Amino acid sequence: MPEGDTIHRAAATLRRAIGGQAVTRFESVLPKLTRVDADTPLRGRIVERVEARGKHLLIWFSGDLVLRTHMRMNGSWHIYRPGERWQRPHRDMRIVIETAAMHAVAFTVPVAEFVTSAQLATHDVVAELGPDPLSDTFRADDAIERMQGHGDTAIADVLLEQTVIAGIGNVFKSEVLFGARINPFVPVSQLTREQLAAIVAVAVRFMRVNVVSGFSRTVEMRRTTGRADPSARLWVYGRGGQPCRRCGAPISRQKQGPYARSTYWCPRCQSVPKVQEVPSVP
């Protein structure tokens, strides 16, 4: 599933390609979108802005209309010049937004809807999103307080909760916890505020360094180690059984959480902290 950095890169590319331009043609295979286009045509509207909120991509059109899409596992947006051949088959097309200069095509996007700005402000998903590490308005204290509200839950599961921090997915979950040297199975209640602050700081650093212009920086090119070697891009994710890049211990992998998502960690670098026992009162 695309994570926050992927969506922010997609938004930046769409913004450069079609931002500020008039829509010359709109097409979709999704009935809910075509009904809106039939009643209040997209043609002639200006693409006012494109932004990412966590894993949601929002395209704002003049006349108070917003297109919200969520990529889920396989969705993607492509940019083409007029007449340029698509890189995906036409059967995968879900949405086409054409301007005189560029065409934006959404492939296999499973979630798409038109909403007004007022509807977006009270949207049952978007309005509940936690702070986005890639946003200029991100507040670390807000993220920490939301994490502390899940005291009995394993920290890895909390990082995937979009109402806590928006945009973190399975890759960043494992990478961030390794970077902060926190065991993924430790409940939040056993972590100090300083440890939670360290997790948030690593999340911000890892995600922001991966937001670059263009679609060429795919998930497969994501980096967290800071190393130039293409074979040493990530610390732990996808490296089960391979030696830790810090200590050499074999990287562990285990299904975790209600959706059985794979978690990767180093059992030596991220050992479970000992719980301090409170001495009994004589």
More confident residue, 103 or 259: 103
Cα–Cα distance, 227 to 209 (Å, whole number): 12
The reply to whether 88 belongs to the active site is: no
Domains of the chain as residue ranges with CATH:
4-128 (3.20.190.10), 140-265 (1.10.8.50)
pLDDT of 34 above 50: yes
| Other residues' Cβ atoms within 10 Å of the Cβ of residue 234 | 19
Which residues make beta-bridge pairs with 26? Answer: 97
Per-residue model confidence (pLDDT) at position 84: 96
Which residue, 261, 207, 265, is CA-closest to 237? 265
Which residue, 142, 68, 132, 140, is CA-closest to 106? 68
Per-residue model confidence (pLDDT) at position 215: 40
pLDDT of 277 above 60: no
Q: Which of 16, 208, 223, 261 is catalytic?
A: 261
Q: What is the mean pLDDT of the chain?
A: 92
Cα–Cα distance, 245 to 256 (Å, whole number): 23
The reply to whether 274 belongs to the active site is: no
pLDDT, tens digit (0-9, with 9 covering 90-100), for 70-81: 998 889 999 999
SS3 248: coil
**What mean pLDDT do residues 185-199 have?**
96
The reply to whether 32 belongs to the active site is: no
Angle between helices 193-209 and 170-179 in degrees, nearest 10: 120
pTM of the entire predicted model: 0.87
Q: Which of 9, 53, 55, 94 is catalytic?
A: 55
Cα–Cα distance, 122 to 127 (Å, whole number): 5
Contact status, residue 174 vs residue 184, Cβ threshold 8 Å: yes
More confident residue, 72 or 90: 90
Cβ neighbors of 163 (< 8 A, separation 6 or more) are 128, 129, 130, 146
**What mean pLDDT do residues 51-57 have?**
95
The reply to whether 175 belongs to the active site is: no
